[in-house]
Copies of this chain bind each other. A is one copy, B any other.
Amino acid sequence: MATTTRRTERRTDALSRARIVEAAIEILDADGESALTFRALAARLATGSGAIYWHVANKSELLAAATDDVVARALGGAASEADPEQEVRTLALRIFDAIDAHPWVGSQLAREPLQLAMQQILEAIGQRLESFGTPDRALFDAASALTNYIVGVAGQNAANARLHVHDEGRTAFLEQVATRWTDLDAEQHPFLSKVAPQLADHDDREQFLAGVDLILAGIRTPH
């Protein structure tokens, strides 16, 4: 026959878990966490909201799946470098950048327990740490510490992104916090008032990496 339509090739608009998760990610990226509703998702997929429940148990599972997807993509094909410490650094930056591009992943990571996405990160970090020559117990603690740090920053970044969608207002916000800190009573808040000028011109990515380096230095330290 001339027009062969293979059975395995369904219509493009056929519903599937993968297509649902993909659409969810698009909505989350475009309009943020609050925009992801089953109604919006159903509309985008040109179906009824109930249809989604055939492929996905509920919203929390959908969010977890979307997060797993993004994290897997960020971690995928992580090129191995000569220096294992450098590997941890680039790995951490990959996750940072992924969360920067998809802020909702940050909130999700911060509120999910030992779910797939967290496991992926922990495994990736742990693998790179193996060659440090740390004893097993300390190694688990070290990998956990790094993962928790990364997830913590992720949550804060997501919160920032939620506050001023799409960068404009970000510097305005930082300046506002900076003046708030400057105006604080130096007696009661010596640290914040001293550090206020640094806030305006600091780079989130650099500060994130500085924290990673701090923890790495700690891991290197004997005992």
B140 touches A192 (CB 8 A): no
Query: A155's contact among B141, B151, B207, B214, by CB below 8 Å, is which?
Result: B151
Query: A191's contact among B130, B150, B216, by CB below 8 Å, is which?
Result: B130
Q: Which of A100-144 contact B (CB under 8 A)?
A: 107, 110-114, 118-119, 122-123, 126-127, 129-130, 136-144
Bound CA–CA A169/B189 (angstroms): 42
Query: Which residues on the B side are within 8 Å of A159 (C-beta)?
Result: 110-113
Bound CA–CA A195/B61 (angstroms): 26
Query: Which residues on the B side are within 8 Å of A129 (C-beta)?
Result: 191
* A41 at the B interface (CB under 8 A): no
Query: Given A130-B191, A136-B195, A190-B130, A211 and B144 touching (CB < 8 A)?
Result: yes
Total identical chains: 2
Query: Which residues on the B side are within 8 Å of A155 (C-beta)?
Result: 110-111, 151-152, 155
B214 touches A126 (CB 8 A): no
Q: List 19 contacting pairs A-B, 8 Å CB cutoff, sorted by A.
A: A107-B110, A112-B159, A122-B191, A123-B191, A126-B191, A130-B191, A136-B194, A136-B198, A148-B153, A149-B149, A149-B152, A150-B152, A151-B152, A152-B153, A215-B215, A217-B217, A217-B221, A218-B218, A218-B221
- Which A residues are closer than 8 A to B by beta carbons? 107, 110-114, 118-119, 122-123, 126-127, 129-130, 136-145, 147-156, 158-160, 162-163, 173, 177, 181, 189-192, 194-195, 198, 202, 207, 210-211, 213-221
